[in-house]
């Protein structure tokens, strides 16, 4: 049974869907959003429980949907030489419910890596195109931080002052200073003082399991609540099976299962897919028809290709003094981009960010230690005496790293799941090796008495699988996030990234979504 026709149908209520849905509603569009998850209430968050750390390995607040297995989750299998971990959360607010809230921007060079460094591809837009939308997004999210970073373009004063970097941060600063390397206080989508009715962070240290007080920004609170108040409709527990098309090849709307499992159709003049770098290609590849037998918007064969994550390693250092890393927020207190831009002498293209990292509590550190007679002795030496530096690498696109349909697994509505295939490039391996050595240097310069073995594999920032570009033969969407093949279909999330940069993606996802919303509204005369 078809629902009334919306001006704009947004599929997915996460970082991109929230920003785009709010902006279009504010401009005057009738917006309907279909979200397979639900609203999250503070009392259900794992952060409100003393056993919150158990969710690192099990439970319905684990970062991995394959572990959580909530009804609203969908399975993702992994393949390749370096099978990727999958981190996402399905809810109104998406993974911003469950994220670290680190909020850096891309560098201008990240949009021009082919022109500058002869690798990957240039974006069809530049940093300057996104700058006003970065600023708008900062204002909505209530970003805390400090202006003046010499490694980045000039920016306005942040909405709230920086959060204290604490003893851990001050210790790491000593290491960077002794080496003469760049460092700066990190931007965080976490309020440091009262801002638009949100309280300041109280340093609980549990915010990756949900922030019950709302100091950490999540798009359910920041974008969707005001959008709903202005007339937007969010239908939760509404899982989209496929995007439908008419005889002319335009998007007609979407078939979805409502919370009772009944198949419905939502019609719309414009359809916007905001389902992340795995969910978006999964939906497009599942949306086959006579006009699009290989999946919607896939004439190039690029849907699902060029899958990027952020290869990362965490290097820990043990100090004589106690650290305060287990006190929040979990967002990164400081970072260094000393090795961000290409230097041919290093043996790889592009670069990485070194992030000072807070730690989880005692249970997480105990789980990483061997059991036996020396367990408590080692635990006392390491907790709370550990500080970490992470290496977050620019992951250049590789066509064989991809998302495909996996017919062997299905979600709770019987829709096939996804398979993520990923292998490190030689460039990435060289970059990781270089970064690990530099992280050790920082920790040693900061006074660490013991350097721990690196941990981690890749941060599952899900990007690149419906890439933006000028040429319809090698990309899926144009500079306005409009699908080359379908004039009223837009793809707006990390899947549209042409390259991944060496920073967390959420700030750029939000800026792209706000910009795409303005473009959709500007061309509303094209709606039929």
pLDDT at 413: 97
In the chain, the percentage of residues whose pLDDT exceeds 70 is 99
Q: Report the C-alpha dihedral over residues 93, 95, 96, 98, rounded to 10 degrees.
A: 120
Cα–Cα distance between 115 and 103 in angstroms, integer?
Answer: 26
Q: Please answer whether residues 56 and 367 qualify as being in contact, where contact means their C-beta atoms are separated by less than 8 angstroms.
A: yes
Q: Please answer whether residues 444 and 106 qualify as being in contact, where contact means their C-beta atoms are separated by less than 8 angstroms.
A: no
Q: Please answer whether residues 417 and 410 qualify as being in contact, where contact means their C-beta atoms are separated by less than 8 angstroms.
A: yes
Rg (CA), the chain: 22
The number of CA neighbours under 13 Å toward the Cβ of 410 is 7
Q: DSSP H helical segments within 198-270, as ranges? A: 219, 225-229
Q: pLDDT tens-digit profile of 210-235?
A: 999 999 999 999 999 999 999 999 99
From the options 3.30.365.10, 3.50.50.60, 3.40.50.620, 3.40.50.720, give the CATH code of 2-526: 3.50.50.60
pLDDT at 2: 59
Cα–Cα distance between 344 and 346 in angstroms, integer?
Answer: 5
Cα–Cα distance between 271 and 481 in angstroms, integer?
Answer: 12
How much is the average pLDDT of 36-55? 94
On whether the pTM is more than 0.95, the answer is yes
Determine how many CB atoms are found less than 10 A away from the CB of residue 371.
8
- Phi–psi pair at 172, nearest 5 degrees: -70, -35
Q: Long-range contacts: 287-292, Cβ < 8 Å, 24+? A: 287/242, 287/243, 287/244, 288/242, 289/244, 289/245, 291/245, 291/249, 292/245, 292/249, 292/485
93: left (phi over 0), alpha (psi -120 to 50) or beta: left
Cα–Cα distance between 84 and 424 in angstroms, integer?
Answer: 10
| Residue 9 pLDDT level (bands cut at 50, 70, 90) | very high
How much is the average pLDDT of 265-274? 98
| Peptide linkage before 384 cis (omega within 30 of 0) | yes
Cα–Cα distance between 86 and 104 in angstroms, integer?
Answer: 21
Average pLDDT over all residues of the chain = 95
pLDDT at 457: 74
pLDDT at 528: 64
CA distances from 83 to 419, 459, 465 (A): 10, 12, 16
How much is the average pLDDT of 51-68? 93
| Residue 156 pLDDT level (bands cut at 50, 70, 90) | very high
Q: Please answer whether residues 215 and 201 qualify as being in contact, where contact means their C-beta atoms are separated by less than 8 angstroms.
A: yes
Task: Give the distance from CA 231 to its chain's centroid.
Answer: 27
Q: Describe the strand order of the beta sheet including 76-79 as a list of residue ranges.
A: 76-79, 416-421, 402-410
| Residue 384 pLDDT level (bands cut at 50, 70, 90) | very high
Cα–Cα distance between 234 and 418 in angstroms, integer?
Answer: 25
Q: Please answer whether residues 152 and 105 qualify as being in contact, where contact means their C-beta atoms are separated by less than 8 angstroms.
A: yes
Cα–Cα distance between 358 and 325 in angstroms, integer?
Answer: 4
């Amino acid at each position: 049974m078809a629902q009334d026709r919306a001006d704009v149908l947004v599929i997915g209520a996460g970082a991109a869907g929230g920003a785009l849905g709010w902006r279009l509603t504010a401009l005057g569009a009738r917006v309907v959003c279909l979200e397979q998850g639900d609203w999250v209430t503070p009392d259900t968050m794992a952060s409100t429980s003393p056993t919150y750390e158990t969710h690192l390995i099990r439970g319905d607040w684990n970062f991995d949907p394959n572990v959580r297995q909530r009804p609203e989750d969908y399975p993702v299998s992994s393949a390749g030489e370096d099978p990727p971990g999958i981190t996402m959360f399905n809810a109104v607010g998406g993974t911003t419910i469950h994220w670290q809230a680190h909020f850096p921007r891309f560098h201008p060079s990240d949009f021009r890596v082919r022109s500058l460094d002869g690798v990957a591809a240039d974006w069809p837009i530049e940093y300057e195109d996104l700058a006003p939308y970065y600023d708008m997004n900062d204002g909505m999210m209530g970003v805390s931080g400090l202006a003046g970073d010499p490694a980045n373009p000039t920016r306005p004063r942040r909405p709230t002052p920086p959060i204290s970097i604490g003893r851990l941060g001050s210790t790491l600063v000593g290491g960077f200073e002794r080496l003469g390397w760049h460092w700066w206080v990190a931007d965080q989508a976490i309020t440091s003082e009262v801002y638009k009715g949100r309280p300041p962070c109280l340093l609980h240290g549990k915010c990756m399991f949900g922030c019950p007080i709302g100091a950490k920004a999540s798009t359910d609170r920041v974008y969707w609540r005001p959008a709903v108040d202005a007339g937007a409709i969010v239908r939760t527990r509404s899982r989209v099976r496929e995007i439908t098309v008419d005889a002319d090849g335009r998007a007609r709307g979407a078939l979805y299962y409502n919370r009772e499992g009944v198949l419905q159709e939502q019609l719309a003049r414009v359809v916007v897919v905001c389902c992340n770098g795995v969910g978006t290609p999964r939906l497009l590849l599942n949306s086959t028809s006579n006009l699009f037998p290989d999946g919607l918007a896939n004439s190039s064969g690029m849907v699902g290709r060029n899958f990027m994550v952020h290869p990362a390693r965490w290097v820990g250092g043990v100090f004589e003094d106690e650290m305060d890393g287990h006190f929040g927020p979990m967002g990164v207190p400081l970072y260094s981009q000393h090795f961000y831009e290409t230097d041919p002498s290093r043996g790889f293209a592009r670069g990485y960010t070194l992030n000072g990292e807070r730690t989880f509590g005692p249970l997480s550190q105990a789980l990483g230690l061997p059991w036996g007679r020396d367990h408590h002795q080692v635990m006392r030496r390491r907790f709370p005496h550990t500080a970490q530096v992470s290496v977050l690498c620019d992951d250049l696109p590789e066509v064989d790293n991809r998302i495909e349909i996996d017919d062997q697994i299905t979600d709770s509505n019987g829709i096939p799941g996804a398979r993520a295939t990923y292998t490190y490039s030689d460039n990435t391996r060289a970059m990781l090796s270089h970064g690990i050595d530099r992280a050790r240097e920082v920790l040693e310069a900061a006074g660490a008495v013991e350097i721990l073995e690196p941990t981690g594999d890749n941060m599952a920032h899900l990007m690149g699988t419906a890439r933006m570009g000028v040429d319809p033969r090698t990309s899926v969407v144009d500079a306005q996030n409009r699908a080359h093949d379908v004039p009223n279909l837009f793809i707006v999330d990390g899947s549209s990234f042409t390259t991944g940069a060496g920073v967390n993606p959420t700030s750029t996802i939000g800026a792209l979504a706000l910009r795409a919303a303005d473009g959709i509204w500007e061309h509303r005369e094209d709606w039929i």
